[in-house]
Amino acid sequence: METTESNNDRQIPPPTSPEPQLVNVNSLPGESISQNGVQQILLNNPTVATSQPMVKSDVVSTQAQHVNTPNEQQIITVSDNALNHAGPVVQAVKRPLSSTGIQQGPVISKVIIRNTNSTQPVPPGLVGTSTATKLTPTLVQTADGKQFLTDGNGRQLVSATGSPLKFVTVSQGTTGQKNVILTTAPTSPIKPIAPLSKVPIAPISPDKKSDTPAQYQRVSNVKRRKIAELIQLNSGNSNQGKIALPSGIVKIVSVPSSSVAATGGGVSGTSVSSTIPVHVQTISPSKQILKPAASTTTIHPIQLSTAGGKMPLMRIVSVTTGTTTATSATKMVTTIAGAKPIAPSLSTVVSGTTAKIAIAPSNSGKITTQPRFIMPANTPTFKIINASGVKPLAGLPPGTTLLAPQGSNILQGLTVIPSNYVTAPQLVTTQQDQMPQLPQENDTNTNGVKAPLKANGVLPDGTAGRPRKPCNCTKSQCLKLYCDCFANGEFCHECNCCNCLNNQEHEEDRKRAIKSCLERNPQAFHPKIGKGAAGQSQRRHNKGCNCKRSGCLKNYCECYEAKIPCSSICKCVGCKNFEESPDRKSLMHLADAAEVRHQQQAAAKDKLSSQIQEFPERPPEFGESGERLPFSFITSEVAEATCDCMMAQAEEAVRLAVSPSIAERMVLEEFGRCLKHVISSASRSKGPS
C-alpha cells in the first residue's frame, strides 16, 4: 500500500537530548521468534524512589516458555531498577536442552523483583499466580550488597550446568534513573501435535478380538517401551517440557523526558508531546466489537495477520481527545462498558503521571503468545494525534515504542507495527482528525471546501462497512472526479491507485482539488442519485445520463448502474432503460437472480467462517484441576514411536508372508496396543509433582 510505504520511509529526526534510549519492542508478530529467538518487553520505571516499596508497575510476572528446539536458550534478564539505583541486574537462566529437546532444570515460571532494601512489604497481588508456577525465583540482596537469585525459599538458583546465575550491569540514564529491561524467552511456537490419521478399523467381533498370534504382538514390545519412556520424560512429574502459558502483563512506562525509542534500522527517537489515553485489551478473534454504553469512546478492533495466525488480537480503544485528562483517562480504562473484566492482579494500572494502559488476557488458556502493546503504523485512516488534533505524529516507523514524557498523560508503551500487519476492519481517526462532513442535500456550509469524512469502506462509527470497490486510478492521482473514492468524498483505502494523493498525507493537494471541483461544479460532491420530483417516490439521477451506444442497459450508464430508469433529464440516445422496456425487464430479472445467488453465497461463506472461528484452535492441555490431559502426551516423538511399532508389525507380517487381511489386522492391533500404552503411561505420570 502506497501510503504505508511512505509512512515507513519517513525518518524521525534524532533526539535532541541524550535521553536514555530504551530497548524497544522490536519484534513483529510472528517474526521475532524465528529471527533471534528472543522477545523483549520493555519495562522502564526510573521514577520510583529507592526507598519506596515497589508499585505494581515495578513488577512483572512472566512465565518461562517451553523451548523445544535444540540450541535455543531461555534467557530471563531482569534489570531491577527499584532494588536500588546501583542497579543490580540479574541475568541469564541458561538451560541446556537434552537431546530430546526437553528442558532440563527448573522451569522459571515467575520472576519477582523485590525491593529488599525496603522495610515495607511487597504489596499483595503484585504477581499473578499461575497454576503452572513451580518456582518463584526471587532476587535477593544481602546486607553486604550481594545479590543472587533464589527459588523463593532461600535456596540460591544455579544454572543447569551448576554455575551460579550471572549478574550483569545495565546502562544507566543520564539522570540517575535507569531503564529496566525485562527480556523473556520467546513464546516458542509450540509444535503442533501430529494429528493421528484416522484409520478405519473394521469392527472386531468379541470372540475374535485378538486373533493375531501372541508372538506377533510381542514384536514391538521394545519399541513400545520407548513410548512409555517418552511419556515419563515429558510428564508433569519432572516438570520438564511443561508449556507455560503466558499471562497478561501490566506496566506503566515513564521516562524523565520525552523520547521515542525505535527499533533497528538506525531510526532515532524524537520528542513526542501528545495526549492519547488508550485502552488496550486483548480479544479473541470471534469476539464482537465492544461498544461502550454511554461514552464517546470509539472502539476499534484490529486483526493482526501473522505468519502463524495465532497472535492474540488486540483492541485499541481511542478516546475522544477533548477529554484527555489523567482523570478521564483513568475513568476511560475502568469504565469501558461491556469490556471483559480485567483480572484483579492485572487490573488498571495507575501511575501519577502517565497514561493508563491496561492489558488483560482474553483467555489465559488459549493465548499462545505474549500479549503485546501493539498499534499499527500510521495509515490513511489512523493516526496518532495530539490532544488538539492539530499535529499528527505521523511517520512513526514500525517498531517504534512510544514513551511518555514525565508529567504527561500519553499513549505509550505501544509498538507501532506496519499497517500491512493490520487487516480489516481498519481503524478510523478520532473525531478531531476527521475532515469536515461532506455537503448534504441541504447543506449550507459555506466554507467552500468540503472533504471526505471517512476512508473507503469505513463507516462513520468506525466499524467496517462493505468497502467500496478499490479504485485503479493511474493518472488522476485520485484527485479528480474520475476517481470514485474521491468523488464519494472518501479517502482511498486499500486501492490499487498510482501516485494517490487522496489521503491525509496530502491534505493540501486534496483541498485544492476539492476546491477546484467545486469551482467547476458546486454540486460536484452532491449525491448523483436523489429523490424524484414531488409526489414521486422513485429515485432519480440528478443529472441524467448521456449514453449514446449502450442503450442505457449497461453499467456504463449511471442510471442503469443505479438500477433506476432513465428520466426526462437524460439526454441518452436509443434508451431502453425505461419501466416498460422488455429488454430492461429481462436484464433486471437476471440481475436480481444474480444478486440473490450472490447473497446466498455470501451468507454461506459467513456461516462457514464463523463456524471455523468457533472451532477451538487447540484443546486445552490441562484439565480444570490442573492435571495434564492424556492426549497432551501424544507428542510428535510419541507418535513417531507409535509409527515405528506399526511399521515393525508390518515388516513382521511381510516376513511371515501372512495374508493382507491378517497383516492389516496386525498393524491395526499394534496401533491399539500403542494407544493403550499411551493412556496407561499417561495416567501413571499424572500424579502430583
Which residues form the interface with DNA (CB under 7 A)?
Answer: 469, 471-476, 478, 480-484, 487, 516-517, 520-521, 524, 528, 543, 545-550, 552, 554-558, 561
Find the shortest distance in angstroms from Cβ 567 to DNA: 12
SS3 call for 625: coil
For DNA, the closer CB: 456 or 642: 456
Alpha-carbon span 353 to 3, nearest angstrom: 34
The three grid cell numbers given for residue 525, joined into one nine-digit string: 460532491
Report, in Å, the least distance between residue 457 CB and DNA.
Answer: 14
Q: Based on the number of CB atoms within 10 Å of its own CB, is 293 exposed (0-12), middle (13-18) or buried (19 or more)?
A: exposed
Least Å distance between CB 592 and DNA? 15
Min separation Cβ 307 and DNA, Å: 24
Minimum CB separation from DNA for residue 593, in Å?
16
Taking the alpha carbons at both ends of the chain, their separation in whole angstroms is 53
Between 58 and 558, whose beta carbon lies closer to DNA? 558
Nearer to DNA, 466 or 520 (CB): 520
Q: What minimum distance in Å lies between the beta carbon of 100 and DNA?
A: 47
What is the C-alpha to C-alpha distance for residues 137 and 106, in angstroms, rounded to an integer?
10
The CA-based angle 608-610-612, given to 5 degrees, is 70
Nearer to DNA by Cβ, of 141 and 550: the residue is 550
Q: Quick one: 216 or 560, whose CB is closer to DNA?
A: 560
Q: By the 8 A CB rule, do 613 and 601 touch? A: no
Residue with smaller CB distance to DNA, 561 or 621: 561
Instruction: Decide: helix, strand or coil at residue 471.
Output: coil
**Nearest CA to 24 among 411, 367, 373?**
373
Which ranges of 267-370 does DSSP label H, i.e. alpha helix? 326-334
Complex with DNA: residue 479 or 678, whichever CB lies closer: 479
Mode of pairing for the β-strands spanning 454-455 and 490-491 = parallel
DSSP assignment of 122-151: PPTTSS---TT-----EEEE-TTS-EEEE-
Quote the CA–CA distance of 515 and 202 in Å, as a whole number: 78
CA 348 centroid distance within chain = 20
Cell of 260: 521515542
Nearer to DNA, 169 or 546 (CB): 546
Question: Which residues have a Cβ under 8 Å from the Cβ of 258 and sit 6 or more positions away?
Answer: 19, 271, 272, 273, 403, 404, 405, 408
Minimum separation from the CB atom of position 504 to DNA (A): 20
Q: State the nearest-atom distance from the C-beta of 558 to DNA, in Å.
A: 5
Angstrom distance (rounded) from CA 504 to CA 435? 9
**Least CB distance to DNA at residue 561 (A):** 6
Taking a C-beta distance cutoff of 8 angstroms, is the pair 565, 577 a contact?
yes
- Burial of residue 218, with CB atoms counted within 10 A of its CB: 0-12 exposed, 13-18 middle, 19 or more buried: exposed
* Dihedral angle of Cα 574, 575, 580, 582, to the nearest 10 degrees: 70
Any long-range contacts for 361-366 (C-beta under 8 Å, 24+ apart)? 361/246, 361/247, 361/248, 361/282, 361/312, 362/281, 362/282, 362/283, 362/284, 362/287, 362/312, 362/313, 363/284, 364/245, 364/247, 364/248, 365/245, 365/620, 365/622, 366/284, 366/616, 366/617, 366/618, 366/620
**Closest CB to DNA among 554 and 618?**
554
What is the SS3 assignment for 216?
A: helix
Query: Toward DNA, which CB reaches closer, 40 or 550?
Result: 550
> If you count them, how many residues does the chain have?
689
Q: How far is the CB of 483 from DNA (least distance, A)?
A: 6
- What is the C-alpha R_g of the chain? 32
CB closer to DNA, 568 vs 659: 568
Residue (316 or 557) nearer to DNA, CB: 557
The angle subtended at Cα 273 by Cα 271 and Cα 277, nearest 5°, is 130
Q: Which stretches of 257-414 are assigned E, i.e. beta strand?
A: 260-261, 278-283, 298-301, 303-304, 313-318, 374-376, 401-402
CB 439, min distance to DNA, A = 15
For DNA, the closer CB: 13 or 574: 574
Q: Shortest distance, CB of residue 564 to DNA, whole angstroms?
A: 13
Residue placing its CB nearer to DNA in the complex, 19 or 484: 484
Q: How far is the CB of 4 from DNA (least distance, A)?
A: 20
- Least distance to DNA from the beta carbon of 40, Å? 41
Side-chain half-sphere CA neighbours of 258 within 13 A: 13
Residue 39: in which H helix or E strand, if any?
Answer: strand 39-43
- The residue among 634, 569, 662 whose CA lies nearest residue 194 is 634
* DSSP 8-state code for residue 298: E
Nearer to DNA by Cβ, of 196 and 590: the residue is: 590
CB of 548 to DNA, least distance (A): 4
Would you say the C-alpha torsion 106, 111, 117, 120 has a positive or negative sign? negative
CA 130, 133, 135 angle in degrees (round to 5)? 150
At closest approach, how far in Å is the CB of 502 from DNA? 10
The smaller minimum CB distance to DNA, of residues 190 and 587, is found at 587
